[in-house]
Amino acid sequence: MPPDTALLHLPEDPLKDLVNDNFLQYASYVIRDRAIPQLEDGLKPVQRRILHALHEKDDGRFNKVANIVGHAMQYHPHGDASIEEALVNLVNKTYLIEGQGNFGNLFTGDPPAASRYVECRLSDLARQEIFNPKLTEYASSYDGRNREPVIFPAKLPLLLMLGSEGIAVGLSTRVMPHNFIELLKAQIAILQDKRFKLLPDFPQGGLMDASEYNRGNGKIKLRARIEKRENSRLVIREIPFSTTTESVIASIEEAARKRRIRIRSINDFTAAQVEILITLSPGEDAEKAIIALYHFTQCEVTLHSNIVVIKGERPVQMDVDEIIRFNTDRLISLLKKELEIRQSELQDELHRKSLIQLFIEHRIYKRIEECETYEDVQQAVLNGLLPFRNQLTRDITLGDVEMLLSLQIKRISRFDLKKNEEEKLKIRLALKEVEKHLTRLTDYAIDYLHRLIQTYGKQFKRKTQLTTAEEIDVRELTANELAIAYDQERGFLGHEVKADAAFRCSPLDRLLLVWDTGRYQMVPPPDKLFVDKNLIYFGIFDRDKVFTLVYNSPTTTFLKRFAFGGAIMNRDYNCAQEDAKVKYLSDRAVSEIRLRYRHVKGSRIDEQTFRVADFPVRGPKTRGNQITRRTVTSVTAK
Amino acid sequence: MKLTRINVDDVHTIQPLLQFYMGKNTPQRREYIMGNLVVEA
């Protein structure tokens, strides 16, 4: 390729030619075969080769990592250390490879155990959604001894799921990981022509301000989750992506040395969860200390995102929306190809079964007895079948004849016509199903995505919390500040009440108090409030939370489901009728309410069960449904 | 001793040349690489 002299303003000379050629060769190689992920399957070559190696070795059981690394080296002629690092990285992302043993600690940054001590295997997700040899293009490995996949027919939006980071020559890429389920939902939105928005999500959790994310070509601000504890102590419960507890602590110590923040001690109790305990110096204000931590330490980091991928053969800059749209188009085309393959397999099978049936039913095999040469035999079979051409879906080939001639005699003698017909019917039904899917591909893809969400929704929940407004941040920060306790004996409630704490809340939260007469109030978290002994419920006020209530009026028992909705602070309300007595109140999702009645002479039924779902959710002022006039002795819920 | 005359007129181009290829990542260099990427047929 001719060097671009206009750019360089340098005269031609042999040295320049030499440097230029070598430079471009090397740069191209690093960009295309090392550092930059491929758009289609989101993988760098080393990752693809590891997955290929795992797939080849896959028998469902764990393999030693060292063994997989060695196997991957057949395709990736580079250092075992770098392959191992890439593998550990994939394991820690949890989606594609399942690890057994010590794979290091994402939080503390502890290294994994040596590769001879740890094992790994493909996850179910990878096994089912990434590989399909029938749809994979293979190329020769570097030494021509093996075949390796060029790109996996991955149906998942792997690039955005896994994220990626790479420094090539002249350009680099940084793709943030996103939440798997949110990606799938975005794909559904694309297929349904709806709007969507994708923001990063990190295994470390933390708080994130993504207002400048700019669809993957901007920056995000990540913060640690810091909780206040009594005695001027702070606890860091989540750290930002790209930091470790070790680096966070080092940065806090550094800030302390520079007197940016005054602390007495730091202790790291991190194991399965992050827990860094910071004890502030006496007199240091916790609120100010948190601000200082965000300002001067790694408790807040800004990360730049810059998405460069290989599309076709060349690096291009793309944004998150373009990528997920590309993934969705590709998903559709892969699903289509899969269906077409299935269709042709079914058609072949049907053809085969029909041929066998004709061959045996009409005793065509008898015709070959007289034949002298093998060609005659073939011709005889072909001639015998020809009259039945209209019963077949396609022409009879020589291959078909071969197949028939290689049938075992015992299969002919034991041929079960009925069973064969049944099997053919099954294949026809399957074919119809496939054809239906092919005509409604978008719906089929949406179903596919829904299935994935259903299977993996619980497993891959969002971990990083979005905080666009500073205010929400404060609420999060203080979410555990107050420990609310209720001393029933004396009738006091609040965070200064000496009793076992029922729950923790923020000073910005509002509490809901309900008494056994149905009276309720919304109040700010009190320090010590006299609420008397007949309080039956207290919790953080949530206007949309659905409650189930059973109460007695003097003559009748009512059941109702309702949400409290809006309320004015410190004002008395009532969610039952006058002179009522609450028998049962819960904010749990119950399915059944069982009532026991006082036995009266002659009554046959002393117990009754009500399905909660039969009662509509209403407002707090409704009377509810009258369910019995008998005297209720007990209420239980399930 | 036999001396051969060596022409060093071009030497002054070496500095900018190495500066470009071995120096910092500049936007021009990035453009240059993107535009001249070697793609095997």
Tens digits of per-residue pLDDT, B4-24?
887 776 566 778 888 888 888
The whole-number pLDDT of residue A11 equals: 64
The whole-number pLDDT of residue A6 equals: 45
pLDDT band at residue B41 using 50, 70 and 90 as cut-offs: low
Structure tokens at A343: 């269709």
Indicate the DSSP class of residue A26.
Answer: H
- Decide if A171 and B33 are in contact by the 8 Å CB cutoff: yes
Residue whose structure tokens are 């080849």: A56
A450 and A520 together in one domain: no
Residue type, A183: L
The whole-number pLDDT of residue A469 equals: 47
- How far are the Cα atoms of A360, A517, A558, A599, A610 from residue A551, in angstroms, in the given order? 77, 9, 5, 19, 14
Burial (CB < 10 A; 0-12, 13-18, 19+), residue A427, is buried
Q: pTM for the whole thing?
A: 0.71
Q: What is the largest CA-CA distance in chain B?
A: 52
Average pLDDT, chain A: 90
Whether A66 has a pLDDT exceeding 50, the answer reads yes
Phi (first) and psi of residue A636, to 5 degrees: -125, 150
More confident residue, A285 or A6: A285
Among A181, A182, A164, A184, which Cα is nearest to A172's? A164
Burial (CB < 10 A; 0-12, 13-18, 19+), residue A349, is middle
CATH number of domain containing A554: 2.120.10.90
| Total number of domains in chain B | 1
Whether A95 has a pLDDT exceeding 90, the answer reads yes
Is the Cβ of B31 closer than 8 Å to some Cβ of chain A? Answer: yes
pLDDT band at residue A477 using 50, 70 and 90 as cut-offs: low
A290 and A238 together in one domain: yes
A404 and A345 together in one domain: yes
- How far are the Cα atoms of A156, A499, A519 from residue A487, in angstroms, in the given order? 54, 6, 19
The whole-number pLDDT of residue A408 equals: 84
- How far are the Cα atoms of A123, A294, A467 from residue A238, in angstroms, in the given order? 27, 13, 15
HSE of A251, CA atoms in CB hemisphere, 13 A: 19
Mutate to test the interface with A, among B9, B15, B17 (most CBs of A within 10 A): B17
User: Minimum mean pLDDT among A195-199, A389-393, A531-535, B5-9: which range?
Assistant: B5-9
User: Minimum mean pLDDT among A37-46, A257-266, A358-367, A468-477: which range?
Assistant: A468-477
Alpha-carbon distance of A42 to A30, in angstroms, equals: 16
A519 and A573 together in one domain: yes
| Total number of domains in chain A | 4
Contacts of A81 (CB under 8 A, 6+ apart): none
Does residue B4 sit within a domain? no
The whole-number pLDDT of residue B16 equals: 82
HSE of A16, CA atoms in CB hemisphere, 13 A: 21
Does residue A599 sit within a domain? yes
The whole-number pLDDT of residue A478 equals: 65
Alpha-carbon distance of B16 to B22, in angstroms, equals: 10
A342 and A441 together in one domain: yes
> Average pLDDT in the A447-459 region?
95
Alpha-carbon distance of A107 to A247, in angstroms, equals: 10
The whole-number pLDDT of residue A471 equals: 43
Assess whether A584 carries a catalytic annotation: no
Confirm if A126 and A51 have CB atoms less than 8 A apart: yes
The enclosing H or E element of A228 equals strand A225-229
Alpha-carbon distance of A441 to A443, in angstroms, equals: 5
Does residue A204 sit within a domain? no
CATH number of domain containing A416: 1.10.268.10
> Average pLDDT in the A191-201 region?
94
Is the Cβ of B19 closer than 8 Å to some Cβ of chain A? Answer: no
Residues in chain B closer than 8 A to A7 (CB atoms): 28, 31-32
- What sign results for the dihedral spanned by CA atoms A109, A101, A78, A153? negative
HSE of A33, CA atoms in CB hemisphere, 13 A: 15
Structure tokens at A438: 């092919």
Which residue of chain B comes nearest to A2, CA vs CA?
Answer: B36
Residues in chain B closer than 8 A to A169 (CB atoms): 33
A285 and A360 together in one domain: no
Does residue A2 sit within a domain? no
CATH number of domain containing A294: 3.30.1360.40
Does residue A266 sit within a domain? yes
Does residue B1 sit within a domain? no
User: Minimum mean pLDDT among A13-17, A67-71, A625-629: which range?
Assistant: A13-17
Does residue B5 sit within a domain? no
A142 and A235 together in one domain: no
Q: Give percent above pLDDT 70 in chain A.
A: 96
Instruction: Characterize the bridge pairing of strands A592-597 and A632-637.
Output: antiparallel
A481 and A437 together in one domain: no
Is the Cβ of B4 closer than 8 Å to some Cβ of chain A? Answer: no
Which of B10, B13, B32 lies closest to A4 in CB terms? B32
Q: Which residues pair with A252 in a beta bridge?
A: none
Range of the domain at A366: 334-456
Whether A7 has a pLDDT exceeding 70, the answer reads no
Range of the domain at B36: 11-41
Does residue B30 sit within a domain? yes
Does residue B6 sit within a domain? no
Whether A474 has a pLDDT exceeding 60, the answer reads no
Does residue A619 sit within a domain? yes
Residues in chain A closer than 8 A to B36 (CB atoms): 1, 3-4, 24
Confirm if A485 and A497 have CB atoms less than 8 A apart: yes
Which residue of chain A comes nearest to B41, CA vs CA?
Answer: A313
H-only helix segments in A258-309 = 286-296
> Average pLDDT in the A486-492 region?
90
The whole-number pLDDT of residue A302 equals: 94
pLDDT band at residue A566 using 50, 70 and 90 as cut-offs: confident
